[in-house]
Structure 1
Amino acid sequence: VEQGRLDMAINRFDKIPQSFHQKTLWTEYFACLMNARNPILKEPFTLDTYLDASHIWVSKTGFGVGVGVNPKDVQRLGWVDEALGRMGRKRQISVFTRHYQVAMLLAEQHDLIATLPSRAAWLQKDNPNLVVKVPPFEIPPFELKMAWSPLLQHNSDHQWLRKLIVEVAEEVDEEFAPFGASFESPQAVQVSHSER
């Protein structure tokens, strides 16, 4: 990206080089996805209930903390586990995967919780076998950003592509807004299939 050989990167960045141009596409919150038969739904969804359950962890490597294909790129705790760690708490990870779709399928078929970005959970909003809940603790939101090299800033084709991506992101955000509003704070109303 920095050399202009890639058009852009779209991701949740910890750091972006100062020379890059960037645009926030949306702010993302987290949601908990579980099957409608999960026994934990029989009681209030509290932090203790959440921690007593078994979880699916989606990571870029598909492995746990301290594991990586490249030793220089070792997996660190994600946002969910960092938030729990700040409270001195830890969840029980039963399954590791690299893919949100795999996590959603596993949550649908087993008594597991997948804590995912809320837009990923939104894809399952019409699935009667899944229930979406607001996490019972604060997980800081993150921004999905588009970043590109200053070498491409004034390129007309690149400007067109950026404009198109921003328009699509705005459409997704607008369609997502009624569902997503409940995930902006842990005190928000819980969303179940019957409420959607």
Structure 2
Amino acid sequence: MHGIYEKDLDLNLIRVFVVVAEAGSVTEAASRLYLTQPAVSAALRRLTSTVGAPLFVRAGRGLALTTRGQRLFASARPHLQALVEAAVSPTTFDPKTSERTVRIGLSDANEAWLLPPLLRLLAEEAPRMKLIVIPVQFRTIAEALGSSAVDLAVTVADELPADTRRRTLFTGGFVCLFDPRHARLGKRLTLERYLEHEHVIVSYNGDLRGVVEDMFGIQRRVRVSVPTFQSIGALVEGSALLATVPERVAREIISLRPSLRTTTLPPEVEMGGAPMELLWRSTVEDDEAIRFMRGLVVRVSETAA
């Protein structure tokens, strides 16, 4: 590829050459190109010098292509037409026929409530489009967007590249998830009782610190630390373990495990929650397929609210 750029060839000369070949005369070509005849003639001389062989010969009042010129014309014309169409033709996107694959970054807290209804909408409105889900979270989302590893993402985020577009989907707090058959919390969960119980936490660092430890400096009795929310419901059910999870995660868990319950956290560790955001780079702002996918995510979020 570097060799192409190193060639001393002005590609505008190819454009002039193709028009002259089509018109059969410098005068007509100059008219079509909105150039003067001397400018067109000069361009042909430069191209002939670069090629190292005559491209035209006189034929009556016009010009005819030489064998070398015919070969260049046959190769250059379709490529030139494709380049012009790529530059000026509007993109067309039809979700019914599109076969695009979109890479969506999701924090694990969002897979359960977002993916099933999103796939149902795709089956109805864009049956040939495909999704690749990439795990992200607030520590990795900036790199994932910056490297174009994902086309869009749904997660909590802090500082992001300046060209990142953001849309808040919802803001939800945290609740305490428990199994009332094994964990007796009373009518109102106090900090003392909260700390008496053992906990299952989600730690992206692979340690025994969760969101409560990080935000309030309060150390819970952590029995198990897991890397995602996927197993939280199974671990809490049938045990006296408590789990502090986002409200929307708890809702999805209880829909599958109706024996579980939630209660508000003690005031000392109550968290309002950070906004869950839809994120994408400005470089794909005009990509119709990604814009379509963003619209579906917003619709699912509004329905799930």
What TM-score does the superposition give when structure 2 sets the normalisation length? 0.48
Write out aligned runs for 1:4-43 (5 A): 4=148, 6-42=150-186
Structure 1 residue corresponding to 2:261, chosen from 124, 127, 131: 131
Structure 2 CA distance for aligned equivalents of residues 2 and 40 of structure 1: 47
SS at structure 2 position matched to 1:22: strand
Q: CA deviation at 1:43?
A: 6.5
Q: Which residue of structure 2 lines up, in the alignment, with residue 152 of structure 1?
A: 284
Structure 1 CA distance for aligned equivalents of residues 284 and 271 of structure 2: 35
Q: Is the 8 A contact 2:171 2:275 kept in 1?
A: yes
- Amino acid aligned to 1:80: V
Q: Is the 8 A contact 1:36 1:128 kept in 2?
A: no
Q: CA deviation at 1:140?
A: 3.5
Q: Is 1:171 aligned to 2:300, yes or no? A: no
Q: CA deviation at 1:27?
A: 0.8
Q: CA deviation at 1:168?
A: 0.9
Where is the helix percentage greater, Structure 1 or Structure 2?
2
SS at structure 1 position matched to 2:224: strand
Q: CA deviation at 1:148?
A: 1.0
- Amino acid aligned to 1:149: R
Q: Which residue of structure 1 lines up, in the alignment, with residue 216 of structure 2?
A: 84
CA separation of 1:140/1:43 partners in 2, compared to 1, >3 Å: closer, same or farther?
closer
Q: Taking CA–CA contacts closer than 8 Å with sequence separation of 6 or more, which of the two structures ends up with the larger relative contact order?
A: 1
Q: Which residue of structure 2 lines up, in the alignment, with residue 55 of structure 1?
A: 199
Runs of 4+ in 1 over 6 A off after TM superposition: none
Gaps in structure 2 of 5+ consecutive residues: 1-144
Q: Is the 8 A contact 1:56 1:112 kept in 2?
A: yes
Provide Cα deviations, 1:27-76, integer angstroms capped at 9, x if missing partner. Answer: 12111111112343246410111011100011235x215xxxxxxxxxxx
- Structure 1 vs Structure 2 CA RMSD: 2.0
- Amino acid aligned to 2:231: V
Write out aligned runs for 1:63-74 (5 A): 63-64=206-207
CA separation of 1:101/1:3 partners in 2, compared to 1, >3 Å: closer, same or farther?
closer
Structure 2 CA distance for aligned equivalents of residues 122 and 10 of structure 1: 18
Count of paired positions: 158
Q: Which residue of structure 2 lines up, in the alignment, with residue 188 of structure 1?
A: none
What TM-score does the superposition give when structure 1 sets the normalisation length? 0.72
Gaps in structure 1 of 5+ consecutive residues: 66-76, 174-196
Q: Is 1:119 aligned to 2:262, yes or no? A: no
Identity %: 27
Q: Is the 8 A contact 2:156 2:274 kept in 1?
A: yes
